A and B are shown apart, each in its own frame.
Chain A
């Protein structure tokens, strides 16, 4: 599990801004379809931090993107079982630290910032509207969760995700315990 940091000692706004800056610089899906062992390692590190043990990592090609998205489901996903509870935990820690204002600002500003930036790349990656919408939603989700994690003092467990994105690959989603990488 991530090292616990005393979030009152950090300059939180700077830390979050730094993560937003990193997300803004991501060229989403730049290396989509190019299998990368290092990317897989990042995913495994992330899953270990969440204590997720049941998973299979599967690479897909850009051509398989649309069909794979149509199959994604949270049902039977150990990863989702962990992820879905995280926002509540983060929110509690952030409120306990008196950083609620930052959280509101984050929820208010961030999705739109990422929407525009991710759209410019995802529109080339996806071949249909539904897939584009999904990918943009995914980008917003990853960014919001990572920034919330940083505010809650658990940011380091999400750094592997940013690093994977910076490599140009994507964690697409889950179909049960299968995790798709692009």
Chain B
């Protein structure tokens, strides 16, 4: 029989959400282990989550003093956002330079590669003494009324009162808890690519959105800078063959139409997506021993940067709920503590999904009513500048959540 190790909480997944969970548990003095299927330092493609809202920076700063500021100062903040419609500028706003080295005030956001985000959170985990078990894929999870027993493929066993699934879209925790992820996929295909910045001669820092870029056959194109690079999003038309746009030779041909041609030789990642818009049918199991966080619980299109920015509060509220459950005097209170956080985060996920759906509808290529509305708005911008703002904000969805949430996302 395997030598079974015990702790209060098992965290499955050591991506950014799992790291935050492990860190928060450690800071609260709750014994835990973070189990990750892949080896430490595993390489994953693409920049992935590149944007942390101020709310997330605050959460991280509250979790580990200095962490929010570290992420802020190691990312970038673009001072200008610009939106164009068929080549005509319909909105521009210059916020002026933000001092992201300010040790007293967190900025509105910071933009950096997910690998960098994870690096800084992991450093905090190591300093705090978070325990990890790398290269330990999960074989089975037994979930009972009294707790959970997890067995890895190598035969290692962990017993805990609770388990938090931070193991992403293909979550084993979710699957073994019998929880389903429900929701559609986007109609439109999006091509996403990263290019490395030329630090000797960089582009001005601006987030730019083109509705129906004239050089791209009327396709929407977005440029988002992050520290050391650029994310380019190209929204394909319904009739486009994704392969025709996404193979590297094609990218090198079309990219110079929208960016300085030097970037055609600085491409580091290309991928195509039809984004899922899915939310778990429950964030906990029937025994109230499981909580889900991040992409184990929800998948959204990236518009509005709701993925990691809601994964962080998922993690922190899961920890808070478990803390309350561990301190509860009755079983009823234990169950209630878990139920409350699961319910709140599900409301958050549904709201975030609606938010990114609103953004998607705004961008939908083949919706004639929305197409007409955008055309009208662009025409009226010089008389009603607010419509320029609507065009600018539309691709990101609403910003403020429903009253049931104790967090912003």
Q: A residues touching B (Cβ–Cβ < 8 Å)?
A: 70, 72-74, 83-88, 90-92, 103, 106-108, 111, 130, 134, 137, 141, 144-145, 148
> Which residues from B are CB-within-8-Å of A145?
380, 383
Could you tell me if B368 and A141 are in contact, using CB atoms closer than 8 angstroms?
no
Interface residues of B in 378-409 (CB under 8 A from A): 379-386
Could you tell me if A87 and B381 are in contact, using CB atoms closer than 8 angstroms?
yes
A-B contact pairs, 28 of them (CB 8 A): A70-B368, A72-B368, A73-B372, A74-B372, A83-B379, A84-B375, A84-B379, A85-B379, A86-B379, A87-B379, A87-B381, A87-B383, A88-B382, A90-B382, A90-B383, A91-B382, A91-B383, A106-B383, A107-B385, A107-B386, A111-B384, A130-B369, A137-B373, A137-B376, A144-B383, A144-B384, A145-B380, A148-B383
Q: How far is the CA of A107 from the CA of B380 in the complex (A)?
A: 10
Residue of A nearest to B376 (CB): A141
Q: Return the 9 tightest CB-CB contacts between A and B, nearest first.
A: A91-B382, A107-B384, A84-B379, A87-B383, A88-B382, A148-B383, A87-B382, A87-B380, A74-B375
Could you tell me if A134 and B369 are in contact, using CB atoms closer than 8 angstroms?
yes
- The count of A-to-B residue pairs whose CB atoms sit within 8 angstroms is 43
Chain B: minimal CB distance from A81 (Å): 11
> Which residues from A are CB-within-8-Å of B380?
87, 141, 144-145
Chain B: minimal CB distance from A22 (Å): 19
Residue of A nearest to B375 (CB): A74
Q: How far is the CA of A74 from the CA of B379 in the complex (A)?
A: 12
Q: How far is the CA of A107 from the CA of B379 in the complex (A)?
A: 14
> Which residues from B are CB-within-8-Å of A88?
382
Chain B: minimal CB distance from A65 (Å): 14
Residue of B nearest to A130 (CB): B369
- A72 in complex: contacting residue of B372, B382, B383, B384, CB < 8 Å: B372
Could you tell me if A107 and B372 are in contact, using CB atoms closer than 8 angstroms?
no
> Which residues from B are CB-within-8-Å of A92?
382
> Which residues from A are CB-within-8-Å of B379?
83-87
